[in-house]
Chain A
Amino acid sequence: MTNIIFYLAAGVAILSTFMVITRLNAVHALLYLIVSLLSVALIFFILGAPFAAALEVIIYAGAIMILFIFVIMMLNLGPPAIEKERLLLKPGMWLGPGLLAAILLIELVLILTGPGSATKAAEVPPRAVGLTLFGPYVLGVELASILLLAGLVGAFHLARKERND
């Protein structure tokens, strides 16, 4: 049963991600990305990582995507933007990257089908994650907080409109 749900979710994730990258309208793409992220959250859950699944929904699908939507709203893109996007996106452009991606995918498959891959996954409860996070990885947590602070300052600085430009 869980197997079927896993593959179903995986299919939804791939399909919606494909939709993300082909959309012309940014808001549509964002909605598809939220679908994709939700299905990945489901996969996390199935893989025995409920804490990660919760964070995926709350932070990725919630906070970060909201940020995107804010930006798109502030840029005030309308139908002309879609027309412009159509001009930018020519069908021939898919060929090269698609080929490269196909090569990389084949290589990935070849690597993953090596020996000893068919082991099962084990559940890791949030308690264990929390204990490890604030145990051996506490320095990493500090670094992450500093990174977020740098991101905050950087975003503030970059987004500011300079008056005498």
Chain B
Amino acid sequence: MELLWLIPAWPLLGFLILTCLAARLPRIMAGSVGVGSVGAAALTALLMAWDFLKHQPGRNAFTQHLWTWLDVAGLHLEIAFYLDALTLVMIIVITGVGFFIHLYSLGYMAHDQGYTRFFAYMNLFVAAMLVLVLADNLPLLYLGWEGVGLCSYLLIGFWYTDPANGYAARKAFVVTRVGDTAMAVGLFVLYNQLGTLQIQEVMQRAAAAWPAGSTMALLTALLLLGGAVGKSAQLPLQTWLPDAMAGPTPVSALIHAATMVTAGVYLIARTHGLFLLAPTALTITAVIGAATLLLAGFSALVQQDIKRVLAYSTISQLGYMFLALGVGAWSAAIFHLFTHAFFKALLFLGAGAVIHALGGEQDMSRMGGLKQKLPLTFWTFLAGAASLAALPLVTAGFYSKDLIIWQAFASPRGGLGFWFMAVAGALLTALYTFRMVLLTFTGPARTPVHHPPGLVMRLPLLVLAFLSLTAGFLETPHSLGHMRVFSGWLHTCLPEAGLAAGREAYEILFELLAGLAALCGIFGALRLYHPLAKSRYSLPESLRQYWIKGWGFDSLYDRLVVRPYIHLAQFNKNDFLDLFFVFLAWLAKTGHQTLAATQNGRLRSYAWGLGLGAAAIAAMVVLL
């Protein structure tokens, strides 16, 4: 247990080595440092997990104090790591999935100019993300939070020579910053009201100080929710994620699917004590989640770019997690986060393999027929897609999503409305997922295959495909074996959802309906998008364009925020305060030039100056 600090230290060390030695490191060394550091972190994390399960520390949590960070005027902050079941799940996901994505990047980035830089950023990201989930207090969490934001920015804009990528990076940074600012304000309010920022203590003191439903609890919960919404790309701050696909595909897999975007979910789960005090905030969370999953689902249905489909599907799946959090199904949300990390990383890596094979082609209308040419990629991608679409019984996504859908109805906070939206989302998910699969892998080949994926790219695909199919068996519903490994474990640190009275009887019926929805979606996709399908239904063009643009949020924000701001800035460009300072600058500059001109190096002109000065002083004596 004492080795806990090593987990974030490994990738940080890797980052330092890669940055300090950058140019001097041969490629093979850079790659092995980059992958090795994350691999070491993953091994350490597994060791931690084994140790944790074996010893079960008191109060089901272990805290490691490293050193004091700040100690001023009553604010005592430590660099301290806190390990409980929730954190353990997160670090295993981050280091495990992170390791396979790093391994995959060895192949994917092999011919890239910025090979070392890429691994340096990725390692820094993993370190920051681990700090985020391990943090014992909120400012340390915030440090990691900003760290992952920075790495996200750096990696979205990784191919910085294209201005569009830089724009996407800036957009992601600025939009998430809106949420970050809300979260920072939330931390200030918490400290101001409760006098501590240590997470467990905050929850204890909040429960003692604020009655359920009090305004202060609502305010802080909403501010933290703001941060989570920004990071997890939920309504209304979801616009940055589709553009974030400008980065290399492994980045999208690691940061914008598996780990960073789930930080919001983690934050809410981590501070669940606060949210439980503010039922309104929970309802808002659920509504945001439900609305987001539907909006993003519709947008994913019409995208042409394979990565954008996956991006919208990520937003949509995150919406499921928020819905689960909102109805109080904490462990269901984390379970979906867990399985989603596997199958979404797999899908991104599969898409990356396709893009790599086609020499950078991302448009699905120019793909097709890859089933025969890239069989391994096809089958693993299919596994991921089935998991995303929640194909009943055999996939992990089914068990986790099904749990959320069921809880959306059965939880005391849930209801038929949430259930209906979740099921509609499931149908949409299955539809767009198999549309993507069919467009990409079936039909006539439209682009020749250049580079089939090598061994280092295939291995992660296989491992992740295996996990995407089997990770779900950790948690199965009553009707199917009733495994409770995952939630039983998480309930050492997260409260149980519970069921509203009289609803448990419907479980089988609702599960059947949900499974049916997924099957309908898959069937619908086969009917609509299979090359042999007869009926070709197309949406009205205007609606299609509207959905492609993500429901027009970008232009809305452009009109509401960006343009007025630019106008204001332009209007204010020459304000009179500025004129004063410009005048000062002008005065200093002109005075300098005048005085500098007098220093012409000629002795006689200096003597002239002396003479004139003497004359002036004598004149003063005479005249005054």
Chain A residues with CB under 8 Å of chain B are 97, 100, 103-104, 107-108, 110-111
Contact = CB atoms under 8 A, between A and B. Distances in A.
B615 A104 contact: yes
A88 B621 CA distance: 36
Nearest to B618: A107
Contacts of B621: 107, 111
Contacts of A97: 611
A103 B622 contact: no
B622 A107 contact: yes
B94 to A, nearest CB: 69
Contacts of B608: 100
Contacts of B622: 107, 110-111
Interface string B490-519: 000000000000000000000000000000
A107 B619 contact: yes
Contacts, number: 20
20 contacts: A97-B611, A100-B608, A100-B611, A100-B612, A100-B615, A103-B615, A104-B611, A104-B614, A104-B615, A104-B618, A107-B615, A107-B618, A107-B619, A107-B621, A107-B622, A108-B618, A110-B622, A111-B618, A111-B621, A111-B622
A97 B618 CA distance: 16
A3 to B, nearest CB: 28
A117 to B, nearest CB: 15
B611 to A, nearest CB: 5
Contacts of B612: 100
Contacts of A111: 618, 621-622
Contacts of B615: 100, 103-104, 107
A96 to B, nearest CB: 8
A103 B621 CA distance: 13
Interface string B593-615: 00000000000000010011011
The main secondary structure of chain A at its interface with chain B is helix
A108 B619 CA distance: 9
Contacts of B618: 104, 107-108, 111
Contacts of B614: 104
Interface residues of B, number: 9
Nearest to A101: B611
B612 to A, nearest CB: 7
A110 B608 CA distance: 22
A37 to B, nearest CB: 22
Contacts of A110: 622
A75 B612 CA distance: 34
Interface string B411-452: 000000000000000000000000000000000000000000
Contacts of A100: 608, 611-612, 615
A97 to B, nearest CB: 8
Which residue, of B608, B618, B621, has the highest number of chain A Cβ atoms within 10 A?
B618
Nearest to A96: B608
A79 B267 CA distance: 97
A107 B615 CA distance: 8
A97 B605 CA distance: 11
Contacts of A103: 615
A111 B611 CA distance: 17
B602 to A, nearest CB: 13
A75 B39 CA distance: 85
B536 to A, nearest CB: 93
Nearest to B620: A107
A110 B623 CA distance: 10
A38 B619 CA distance: 33
A97 B614 CA distance: 13
Contacts of A104: 611, 614-615, 618
Question: Nearest 7 CB-CB pairs, A to B?
Answer: A107-B618, A110-B622, A100-B611, A107-B622, A103-B615, A104-B615, A107-B619
A129 B608 CA distance: 37
B199 to A, nearest CB: 74
B605 to A, nearest CB: 11
B623 to A, nearest CB: 9
Given A104-B615, A107-B615, A107-B619, 14 more contacts: A100-B611, A100-B612, A100-B615, A103-B615, A104-B611, A104-B614, A104-B618, A107-B621, A107-B622, A108-B618, A110-B622, A111-B618, A111-B621, A111-B622
Nearest to B607: A97
Nearest to A100: B611
A97 B608 CA distance: 8
A97 B612 CA distance: 10
Nearest to A103: B615
Contacts of B611: 97, 100, 104
A28 B608 CA distance: 26
B96 to A, nearest CB: 72
Indicate the member of A104, A107, A108 with the most B CB atoms within 10 Å: A107
A97 B615 CA distance: 12
